[in-house]
Structure 1
Amino acid sequence: MTIKKVMVIGAGQMGSGIAQVCAQAGYEVLLHDMNEEALKKGLNDIEKRLARNVEKGKIAEEDKSVTMSRLSPSSELKDAATCDLVIEAVVENMDVKEAVFRELDQVAPSHAILASNTSSLPITEIAAVTQRPEQVIGMHFMNPVPVMKLVEIIRGLQTSDETYEAIQKMTDELRKTPVEVKDFPGFVSNRILMPMINEAIYTVYEGVATPEDVDHVMKLGMNHPMGPLALADFIGLDTCLSIMEVLHDGFGDSKYRPCPLLRQYVKAGWLGKKSGRGFYQYS
């Protein structure tokens, strides 16, 4: 199967990043969001990132112009009717994702592949709401998408070899490194990362050390580029909590129990960088 036109659903940080790398790789891209302001911001953020790359000499002004010319806004999901691949990057909530995939199954052409950028939810369950489960797959990009090289490709129970091979080939064309992962809660990245972040939150909760000192230990002692609590703020504490809940529910193991302090921060609206406060304060 040949992929020429892509729709990305969700114009937030992840969705706009995915749309950008697809456009830079030569694909025609529809960036979709029902919120007009979010859609404008998503396209503006792409243009700003590309402009910074021009200033740094990473790309030419012509490359920026050509990339932007391949991007079009979409506020109607029915626009998927012209696409070969749809990549969903909406909120990490199964009910929301299932609703999107049900509608996509009705409007996307029969040959189209439907992919989810979910960071932890089961692809098999998402695929089950469609009439084309063999054409449903996970494409878990890392944040920030234009910088990070990894894409976890998650095969659902019924994902076909043809679908996997098409997505693997496309990932190579995006200049990313594809890693094949089976459909287990949290896949590989978040099954390892989130319990570490959760344990870091427990050390603060139990008064073992301050957030700053926990992060210093992991940066200076373990050579991590960013401390786990600063990383949690960057990801979003609400997202961290939802992934921990998926792991806890999926495995039924108490080692995945979300820290009470994490729940408390989320209930307080302290979601990290995006809300201005998490384990650190942001102006």
Structure 2
Amino acid sequence: MKTLDQFDIRGRSALVTGAASGIGLAYAECMAEAGARVTLTDIDGEAAEREAARLREAGYEARAAKCDVSKLEDVAAAFDDHAAAYNGCDIAFANAGLDVGNGFWTPEGKRNPDGQIDVYEPERWYKSIGINLNGVFHTVREAARVMKQNEALSGRRGGSIVITSSNAAEVNEAIVGVPYMAAKAGVKHFMRHAAFELAAYGIRVNAIAPGPFVTNIGDGWVKKNPAAKKAWDELCPLGRMAETYQIKPLALLLASDAGSYMTGSHVMIDGGMQLGPIKPLND
């Protein structure tokens, strides 16, 4: 098979959670641009529909659904609707996530009193785990359920599940909130277990682990706070935060047959952050 032919996903279908903005929207755009039929899901259903409409206006096949990934029934309904519309599901991106608060260090280089473990609000912990870890479980669970039916529905066996993890699963980041770090570490190991179990069904499970990307996570605090953007730029060995379009080629690799021998991989795309910060954070 020719190299570029392995990236061909025309005629396949993809569901993306958290697809109304940021990395999730980049995934949805990537899938549509490569010829897949896409369902954009998001807790903000109106925003998801706006983006799906924009893709349709550009000539792509896209639909939208409101979905709160912390609720299993929402996720199940989204996959059922997608499978009915597109005769199964070939690709699923378990992407939806949020950051409920800063870490113990501020971008300006000082201790953050609200981010200390001994005073951290439990509600923020529960909310983060509910979306960032439980939401991934719900999405992978329902994707696996539908993908096991693919051969009967479409004649294509298996599928590809891609989870958005984080370099926070691998390294300590003082600026990032503690529940986000814990959730992403859990996501990494859950991904490996899911890949181990689902390989027998031809379902591949991998994770993309982004580093500092400019997105709307944390209520878009990096976009709103020049000091935060500057701090991340200075910490990164490549000297800059990434834009979401830069994640698209990796997403296509893992979603397509180009990644057909990849499962259980936790792929870093973080500008070298796993190598360590250029400027150490000290009191």
TM-score (norm 2): 0.45
Using CA pairs below 8 Å that are at least 6 residues apart, which structure has the higher relative contact order? 2
TM-score for the superposition, normalised by structure 1: 0.45
